[in-house]
Structure 1
Amino acid sequence: MVRLMMILLGVDYLRARWRGVLVVGAVSAAIGAGLFIDALDGVLYFRVAPFGWLLLVEGLATLAVAWTGMGGQRTLRYVKGLAFCLTAGLILSGYRHASFILSMVFATLFLADGLLQIASAWVVRYRTWKYAVAGGVLEIAIAIFLYQPYPTHYKGTVPYCLGLALFFTGWNLLLLALRARRLGVNPAVAQGGAAALAASAVGVKGGVGARLTQTVFDGPPGDHERALTVHVWTPVGTSKAEARRQPVIDRYIAAVDRDGVISTGHAALETPENVYISLYPAVEIDRSPDEFSRLLRATAENDVPGLFQPDYATESKAWCPSTRKVRIRNYDAQRLARFWQHYRADTTYNLTHRNCSSTVSHALEAALEGATPRVWGGGWLAFVRMLATPELWVAAQVRKRGQTMAWTPGLTLDYARALSMLADPRPAGWTRAMRLVRTRLGRGLKPHGARERSGNSGDGRGAGSHGA
Structure 2
Amino acid sequence: MVRIMMILLGVEYLRERWRGVMAAGVVSALVGAALFIDALDGVLYFHIAPFAWLLLIEGLATLAVAWTGMGGQRTLRYVKGFGFCMTAVLVLSGYRHASFIISMVFATLFLADGMLQIASAWVVRYRTWRLAVAGGALQIAIAIFLYQPYPTHYKGTVPYCLGLILMFAGWNLLLLALRARRLAVNPAAAQGGAAALVASAVGAANSAKGADPKLAQTVFDGPPEPQERALTVHVWTPVGTSKSEARRQPLINRYIAAVDRDGVISTGHAALESPERVYISLYPAVEIDRSPDEFTRTLRATRENDVPGLFQPDYVTESKAWCPSTRQVRIRNYDPLRLESFWQRYREDTTYNLTHRNCSSTVSHALEAALEGATPRVWGHGWLAFARMLMTPELWVAAQVRKRGQTMAWTPGLTLDYARALSMLADPRPSGWTRMLRSLRASMLRRERRHERERKHEADHDGRSPHA
Compute the TM-score of the two structures, normalised by the length of structure 1. 0.95
Could you say which residue in structure 1 is the equivalent of 2:196? 196
Q: 1:319-338 maps to which residues of 2 (within 5 A)?
A: 319-338=322-341
Report the count of equivalent residues: 456
When the two chains are superposed, the root-mean-square deviation of aligned CA atoms in Å is 1.5
Match for 1:289 among 292, 308, 312? 292
Q: CA offsets, 1:23-70, max 9 Å, x none?
A: 000100010111101011221112111111000000000011101100
Q: 1:340-359 maps to which residues of 2 (within 5 A)?
A: 340-359=343-362
Larger CA deviation: 36-45 vs 307-316: 36-45
Amino acid at match of 1:365: E
Deviation at 1:441, TM superposition (A): 2.7
Amino acid at match of 1:132: A
Deviation at 1:202, TM superposition (A): 1.2
Amino acid at match of 1:335: R
Distance 2:50 2:145 in 1: 25
Residue 171, structure 1, aligned to residue 171, structure 2: yes
Deviation at 1:301, TM superposition (A): 0.2
Q: CA offsets, 1:372-395, max 9 Å, x none?
A: 111111000000000000000000
Could you say which residue in structure 1 is the equivalent of 2:91? 91
Could you say which residue in structure 2 is the equivalent of 1:55? 55
| Percentage of matched positions with identical amino acids | 82
Residue 427, structure 1, aligned to residue 430, structure 2: yes
Distance 2:457 2:343 in 1: 55
Secondary structure at the counterpart of residue 320 of structure 1: coil
Deviation at 1:254, TM superposition (A): 0.4
Aligned in 2, Cα 1:26/1:281: closer, same or farther, shift over 3 Å?
same
Match for 1:235 among 233, 238, 241? 238
Deviation at 1:241, TM superposition (A): 1.1
Deviation at 1:452, TM superposition (A): 6.3
Residue 156, structure 1, aligned to residue 159, structure 2: no
Distance 1:324 1:253 in 2: 16
Larger CA deviation: 444-453 vs 242-251: 444-453
Distance 1:201 1:134 in 2: 32
Deviation at 1:446, TM superposition (A): 5.2
Distance 1:393 1:403 in 2: 15
Could you say which residue in structure 1 is the equivalent of 2:35? 35
Q: 1:40-439 maps to which residues of 2 (within 5 A)?
A: 40-205=40-205, 206-207=207-208, 209-439=212-442
Q: CA offsets, 1:326-382, max 9 Å, x none?
A: 000000000000000000000000000000000000000000001111111100000
Distance 1:336 1:151 in 2: 53
Q: CA offsets, 1:284-315, max 9 Å, x none?
A: 00000000000000000000000000000000
Q: CA offsets, 1:222-259, max 9 Å, x none?
A: 10000000000000000111111111001100001111
Could you say which residue in structure 2 is the equivalent of 1:460? none
Amino acid at match of 1:442: L
Amino acid at match of 2:126: Y
Gaps of at least 5 residues in structure 2 are 459-468
Compute the TM-score of the two structures, normalised by the length of structure 2. 0.95
Distance 1:447 1:354 in 2: 57
Distance 2:307 2:378 in 1: 40
Distance 2:60 2:155 in 1: 25
Gaps of at least 5 residues in structure 1 are 456-468
Deviation at 1:435, TM superposition (A): 1.6
Aligned in 2, Cα 1:212/1:293: closer, same or farther, shift over 3 Å?
same
Amino acid at match of 2:198: A
Moved runs in structure 1, 4+ residues, more than 4 A?
A: 445-455
Could you say which residue in structure 2 is the equivalent of 1:440? 443
Secondary structure at the counterpart of residue 192 of structure 1: coil
Deviation at 1:191, TM superposition (A): 1.1
Amino acid at match of 1:79: V
Q: CA offsets, 1:91-131, max 9 Å, x none?
A: 10000010010011000000000000000000000000000
